[in-house]
Amino acid sequence: MSNIKVYHYDAFSTVPGQGNPAGVVFDADHFSETAMQQIAYQVGFNETVFVLNSEVADVRLRYFTPGHEINLCGHATMASLYGLKTRGMLGDKELITIETNVGILPIRFERNDNTIYMEMKQDHPQFIPFQGDIEKLVSAINLTLDDVDLSTPIVYGSTGAWTLLIPIRDLNSFMKMKPDSSLFPGILIENPKASLHPFCFETRDSDAMMHARHFSSPYSGTTEDPVTGTASGVMGAYYLTYVKPEIDEVQFVVEQGHEIGRDGKVQVSVIRDGADMDVRMKGTAVFVRELNVELDTCSYT
Protein backbone atom coordinates (compact mmCIF):
# COMPACT_ATOMS: atom_id res chain seq x y z
CA MET A 1 0.00 0.00 0.00
CA SER A 2 1.12 3.56 -0.74
CA ASN A 3 0.09 6.71 1.07
CA ILE A 4 -1.29 9.39 -1.28
CA LYS A 5 -1.51 13.02 -0.21
CA VAL A 6 -4.70 14.80 -1.26
CA TYR A 7 -5.17 18.52 -0.63
CA HIS A 8 -8.65 19.65 0.41
CA TYR A 9 -9.68 23.09 -0.84
CA ASP A 10 -13.08 24.77 -0.60
CA ALA A 11 -14.03 26.64 -3.79
CA PHE A 12 -16.18 29.77 -4.16
CA SER A 13 -15.50 30.97 -0.62
CA THR A 14 -12.64 32.44 1.39
CA VAL A 15 -13.85 30.69 4.56
CA PRO A 16 -13.12 26.99 5.19
CA GLY A 17 -16.32 25.01 5.50
CA GLN A 18 -18.43 27.49 3.51
CA GLY A 19 -17.53 26.68 -0.10
CA ASN A 20 -17.58 23.52 -2.18
CA PRO A 21 -14.97 20.94 -1.11
CA ALA A 22 -12.68 19.43 -3.72
CA GLY A 23 -9.77 17.07 -3.43
CA VAL A 24 -6.65 18.05 -5.38
CA VAL A 25 -3.84 15.66 -6.28
CA PHE A 26 -0.77 17.43 -7.67
CA ASP A 27 1.87 15.73 -9.89
CA ALA A 28 -0.57 12.97 -10.80
CA ASP A 29 0.98 11.72 -14.06
CA HIS A 30 2.05 8.41 -12.54
CA PHE A 31 -1.49 7.36 -11.59
CA SER A 32 -3.60 5.14 -13.81
CA GLU A 33 -7.23 5.97 -14.48
CA THR A 34 -8.18 3.15 -12.13
CA ALA A 35 -6.05 4.68 -9.38
CA MET A 36 -7.60 8.11 -9.90
CA GLN A 37 -11.06 6.62 -9.57
CA GLN A 38 -10.07 4.74 -6.40
CA ILE A 39 -8.63 7.89 -4.84
CA ALA A 40 -11.74 9.92 -5.70
CA TYR A 41 -13.93 7.22 -4.19
CA GLN A 42 -11.95 7.20 -0.95
CA VAL A 43 -11.87 11.00 -0.70
CA GLY A 44 -15.66 11.04 -1.15
CA PHE A 45 -16.05 14.65 -2.27
CA ASN A 46 -18.30 15.50 -5.19
CA GLU A 47 -15.14 15.86 -7.26
CA THR A 48 -11.44 15.18 -6.92
CA VAL A 49 -9.16 16.72 -9.55
CA PHE A 50 -5.82 15.36 -10.74
CA VAL A 51 -3.17 17.76 -12.04
CA LEU A 52 -1.05 16.37 -14.88
CA ASN A 53 1.53 17.63 -17.34
CA SER A 54 0.27 18.72 -20.74
CA GLU A 55 1.92 18.99 -24.15
CA VAL A 56 -0.66 21.51 -25.39
CA ALA A 57 -1.46 23.65 -22.32
CA ASP A 58 0.08 24.76 -19.04
CA VAL A 59 -1.56 21.90 -17.15
CA ARG A 60 -3.99 19.08 -17.77
CA LEU A 61 -6.86 18.46 -15.36
CA ARG A 62 -8.91 15.28 -14.96
CA TYR A 63 -11.99 15.25 -12.75
CA PHE A 64 -13.53 12.29 -10.94
CA THR A 65 -16.64 11.91 -8.82
CA PRO A 66 -16.68 8.91 -6.45
CA GLY A 67 -18.47 7.02 -9.23
CA HIS A 68 -16.98 8.10 -12.57
CA GLU A 69 -14.90 10.61 -14.54
CA ILE A 70 -16.55 13.84 -15.72
CA ASN A 71 -15.38 16.12 -18.51
CA LEU A 72 -15.29 19.44 -16.65
CA CYS A 73 -15.85 20.72 -13.12
CA GLY A 74 -15.84 24.40 -12.23
CA HIS A 75 -15.28 24.19 -8.49
CA ALA A 76 -12.51 21.60 -8.77
CA THR A 77 -10.83 23.81 -11.37
CA MET A 78 -10.96 26.75 -8.96
CA ALA A 79 -9.52 24.57 -6.19
CA SER A 80 -6.64 23.14 -8.22
CA LEU A 81 -5.63 26.44 -9.80
CA TYR A 82 -5.76 28.24 -6.46
CA GLY A 83 -3.51 25.52 -5.08
CA LEU A 84 -1.09 25.72 -7.99
CA LYS A 85 -0.92 29.51 -7.76
CA THR A 86 -0.50 29.80 -3.99
CA ARG A 87 2.13 27.05 -3.96
CA GLY A 88 4.21 28.87 -6.58
CA MET A 89 3.79 26.15 -9.18
CA LEU A 90 2.67 28.59 -11.89
CA GLY A 91 5.26 31.29 -11.25
CA ASP A 92 4.15 34.82 -12.10
CA LYS A 93 1.78 33.78 -14.89
CA GLU A 94 -1.55 35.61 -14.84
CA LEU A 95 -2.90 33.96 -18.01
CA ILE A 96 -2.69 30.20 -18.52
CA THR A 97 -4.50 27.44 -20.39
CA ILE A 98 -5.81 24.15 -19.05
CA GLU A 99 -6.30 20.95 -21.02
CA THR A 100 -9.61 19.23 -20.20
CA ASN A 101 -11.78 16.58 -21.82
CA VAL A 102 -13.85 19.36 -23.43
CA GLY A 103 -10.77 21.04 -24.91
CA ILE A 104 -8.26 23.73 -24.00
CA LEU A 105 -9.69 26.52 -21.86
CA PRO A 106 -8.11 29.85 -20.86
CA ILE A 107 -7.77 30.92 -17.21
CA ARG A 108 -7.03 34.40 -15.93
CA PHE A 109 -5.83 35.19 -12.41
CA GLU A 110 -6.52 38.46 -10.64
CA ARG A 111 -6.08 39.81 -7.13
CA ASN A 112 -8.61 41.84 -5.19
CA ASP A 113 -7.97 42.84 -1.56
CA ASN A 114 -5.30 40.13 -1.25
CA THR A 115 -7.72 37.48 -2.54
CA ILE A 116 -6.81 35.47 -5.62
CA TYR A 117 -9.63 35.00 -8.13
CA MET A 118 -9.65 32.70 -11.13
CA GLU A 119 -11.74 33.45 -14.22
CA MET A 120 -12.48 30.37 -16.31
CA LYS A 121 -13.86 30.25 -19.83
CA GLN A 122 -16.33 27.42 -20.27
CA ASP A 123 -17.24 25.30 -23.26
CA HIS A 124 -19.75 26.43 -25.89
CA PRO A 125 -23.26 26.25 -24.34
CA GLN A 126 -25.67 23.59 -25.53
CA PHE A 127 -29.34 23.09 -24.69
CA ILE A 128 -31.73 20.14 -25.13
CA PRO A 129 -35.47 20.41 -24.36
CA PHE A 130 -36.81 18.33 -21.47
CA GLN A 131 -39.76 16.30 -22.74
CA GLY A 132 -40.33 14.06 -19.74
CA ASP A 133 -43.00 14.16 -17.05
CA ILE A 134 -42.66 17.48 -15.18
CA GLU A 135 -44.86 16.33 -12.29
CA LYS A 136 -42.67 13.27 -11.70
CA LEU A 137 -39.57 15.46 -12.03
CA VAL A 138 -40.52 17.93 -9.33
CA SER A 139 -41.88 15.15 -7.11
CA ALA A 140 -38.40 13.58 -7.20
CA ILE A 141 -37.11 16.67 -5.34
CA ASN A 142 -40.17 16.88 -3.03
CA LEU A 143 -41.89 19.75 -4.85
CA THR A 144 -45.17 20.17 -6.72
CA LEU A 145 -46.05 21.80 -10.04
CA ASP A 146 -47.02 24.97 -8.17
CA ASP A 147 -43.36 25.46 -7.21
CA VAL A 148 -42.17 25.57 -10.84
CA ASP A 149 -42.01 28.74 -12.94
CA LEU A 150 -43.10 27.57 -16.38
CA SER A 151 -42.76 31.02 -17.95
CA THR A 152 -39.34 29.80 -19.12
CA PRO A 153 -38.56 26.24 -20.19
CA ILE A 154 -37.03 23.33 -18.32
CA VAL A 155 -34.01 22.34 -20.41
CA TYR A 156 -30.80 20.36 -20.22
CA GLY A 157 -27.84 22.73 -20.42
CA SER A 158 -24.12 22.18 -20.73
CA THR A 159 -20.97 24.27 -20.85
CA GLY A 160 -18.92 21.16 -20.18
CA ALA A 161 -21.23 19.00 -18.02
CA TRP A 162 -24.93 18.29 -18.54
CA THR A 163 -27.47 19.43 -15.96
CA LEU A 164 -31.24 19.94 -16.07
CA LEU A 165 -32.12 23.59 -15.39
CA ILE A 166 -35.42 23.89 -13.49
CA PRO A 167 -36.82 27.42 -12.92
CA ILE A 168 -38.50 27.76 -9.50
CA ARG A 169 -40.95 30.52 -8.48
CA ASP A 170 -39.96 31.29 -4.88
CA LEU A 171 -36.93 31.07 -2.63
CA ASN A 172 -38.98 29.32 0.06
CA SER A 173 -39.30 26.25 -2.14
CA PHE A 174 -35.60 25.49 -1.82
CA MET A 175 -35.85 24.54 1.86
CA LYS A 176 -38.53 21.97 0.95
CA MET A 177 -36.31 20.18 -1.57
CA LYS A 178 -35.32 16.60 -0.73
CA PRO A 179 -33.86 14.74 -3.70
CA ASP A 180 -34.51 11.07 -4.41
CA SER A 181 -31.76 10.67 -6.98
CA SER A 182 -32.63 7.01 -7.62
CA LEU A 183 -35.63 8.32 -9.57
CA PHE A 184 -33.64 10.70 -11.79
CA PRO A 185 -32.53 8.33 -14.61
CA GLY A 186 -36.08 7.11 -15.26
CA ILE A 187 -37.36 10.69 -15.49
CA LEU A 188 -34.51 12.21 -17.50
CA ILE A 189 -35.36 10.24 -20.61
CA GLU A 190 -33.26 12.35 -22.98
CA ASN A 191 -30.16 12.40 -20.73
CA PRO A 192 -30.36 9.86 -17.86
CA LYS A 193 -26.97 10.75 -16.36
CA ALA A 194 -27.63 14.49 -16.04
CA SER A 195 -27.78 16.25 -12.69
CA LEU A 196 -30.64 18.53 -11.56
CA HIS A 197 -30.18 22.26 -11.06
CA PRO A 198 -33.24 24.12 -9.69
CA PHE A 199 -32.81 27.91 -9.57
CA CYS A 200 -34.80 31.10 -9.02
CA PHE A 201 -34.42 34.87 -9.28
CA GLU A 202 -35.36 35.53 -5.65
CA THR A 203 -32.20 35.58 -3.55
CA ARG A 204 -31.17 35.71 0.07
CA ASP A 205 -28.31 38.19 -0.45
CA SER A 206 -28.74 41.51 -2.24
CA ASP A 207 -25.58 41.11 -4.33
CA ALA A 208 -26.87 37.93 -5.99
CA MET A 209 -29.26 37.61 -8.95
CA MET A 210 -29.88 33.87 -8.81
CA HIS A 211 -30.24 31.28 -6.07
CA ALA A 212 -29.66 27.59 -6.80
CA ARG A 213 -29.19 24.06 -5.57
CA HIS A 214 -27.54 21.20 -7.44
CA PHE A 215 -28.55 17.56 -7.07
CA SER A 216 -26.10 14.96 -8.36
CA SER A 217 -26.80 12.07 -10.68
CA PRO A 218 -26.99 8.76 -8.77
CA TYR A 219 -24.14 7.50 -10.95
CA SER A 220 -21.77 10.02 -9.35
CA GLY A 221 -21.99 8.47 -5.89
CA THR A 222 -22.92 11.79 -4.23
CA THR A 223 -26.19 13.58 -3.44
CA GLU A 224 -25.73 17.35 -3.63
CA ASP A 225 -23.05 19.72 -4.89
CA PRO A 226 -22.88 22.70 -2.49
CA VAL A 227 -21.70 25.38 -4.97
CA THR A 228 -21.42 24.67 -8.70
CA GLY A 229 -19.25 26.46 -11.25
CA THR A 230 -20.17 24.91 -14.60
CA ALA A 231 -23.91 24.91 -13.77
CA SER A 232 -23.69 28.57 -12.76
CA GLY A 233 -22.05 29.37 -16.08
CA VAL A 234 -24.68 27.60 -18.12
CA MET A 235 -27.37 29.55 -16.21
CA GLY A 236 -25.85 32.69 -17.72
CA ALA A 237 -26.27 31.24 -21.20
CA TYR A 238 -29.82 30.18 -20.25
CA TYR A 239 -30.56 33.75 -19.19
CA LEU A 240 -29.54 35.20 -22.58
CA THR A 241 -31.31 32.41 -24.48
CA TYR A 242 -34.65 32.12 -22.69
CA VAL A 243 -35.09 34.97 -20.19
CA LYS A 244 -33.62 38.04 -21.92
CA PRO A 245 -32.96 37.06 -25.56
CA GLU A 246 -33.04 40.74 -26.56
CA ILE A 247 -29.76 41.52 -24.72
CA ASP A 248 -26.27 40.34 -25.65
CA GLU A 249 -24.38 40.56 -22.37
CA VAL A 250 -24.99 39.83 -18.69
CA GLN A 251 -22.96 39.73 -15.48
CA PHE A 252 -24.32 38.48 -12.18
CA VAL A 253 -23.65 36.52 -8.99
CA VAL A 254 -25.12 33.12 -8.13
CA GLU A 255 -25.56 32.21 -4.44
CA GLN A 256 -25.71 28.58 -3.44
CA GLY A 257 -25.38 26.23 -0.49
CA HIS A 258 -27.41 27.93 2.23
CA GLU A 259 -29.83 25.03 2.68
CA ILE A 260 -26.96 22.70 3.60
CA GLY A 261 -24.97 25.11 5.75
CA ARG A 262 -22.76 26.59 3.02
CA ASP A 263 -22.44 30.11 1.64
CA GLY A 264 -20.85 30.13 -1.80
CA LYS A 265 -20.78 32.80 -4.50
CA VAL A 266 -20.02 32.38 -8.20
CA GLN A 267 -19.54 35.33 -10.54
CA VAL A 268 -20.87 34.74 -14.05
CA SER A 269 -20.41 36.73 -17.25
CA VAL A 270 -21.76 35.90 -20.70
CA ILE A 271 -21.35 37.78 -23.98
CA ARG A 272 -23.29 36.80 -27.09
CA ASP A 273 -21.32 36.98 -30.33
CA GLY A 274 -23.65 36.10 -33.18
CA ALA A 275 -24.64 32.46 -32.77
CA ASP A 276 -21.92 31.86 -30.19
CA MET A 277 -21.62 32.81 -26.52
CA ASP A 278 -18.53 33.48 -24.45
CA VAL A 279 -19.35 32.01 -21.01
CA ARG A 280 -17.06 32.69 -18.06
CA MET A 281 -17.30 32.16 -14.34
CA LYS A 282 -15.06 33.55 -11.63
CA GLY A 283 -14.40 32.54 -8.07
CA THR A 284 -11.80 31.96 -5.42
CA ALA A 285 -10.87 29.14 -3.03
CA VAL A 286 -9.30 28.45 0.33
CA PHE A 287 -7.02 25.68 1.60
CA VAL A 288 -8.61 23.54 4.31
CA ARG A 289 -6.38 20.56 5.16
CA GLU A 290 -4.30 17.64 3.93
CA LEU A 291 -5.85 14.20 3.55
CA ASN A 292 -4.07 10.86 3.31
CA VAL A 293 -5.42 8.06 1.11
CA GLU A 294 -4.02 4.54 0.98
CA LEU A 295 -3.68 3.08 -2.50
CA ASP A 296 -2.57 -0.33 -3.68
CA THR A 297 0.72 0.22 -5.53
CA CYS A 298 -0.49 -2.02 -8.39
CA SER A 299 -2.92 0.78 -9.30
CA TYR A 300 -0.09 3.01 -10.49
CA THR A 301 0.68 3.28 -14.19
Instruction: List residues with catalytic annotation.
Output: 47
d(CA 227, CA 75): 7
For 22-32, letters b (16+ CB in 10 Å) and e give: bbbbbebeebe
Q: Are strands 47-52 and 20-25 parallel, antiparallel or unpaired?
A: parallel
Q: Which helix (H) or strand (E) holds 139?
A: helix 134-139
Q: Count the alpha carbons within 13 Å of 278 in the hemisphere toward its beta carbon.
A: 10
d(CA 148, CA 168): 4
Handedness of CA 266, 271, 272, 273 (dihedral sign): negative
Count of residues making up the chain: 301
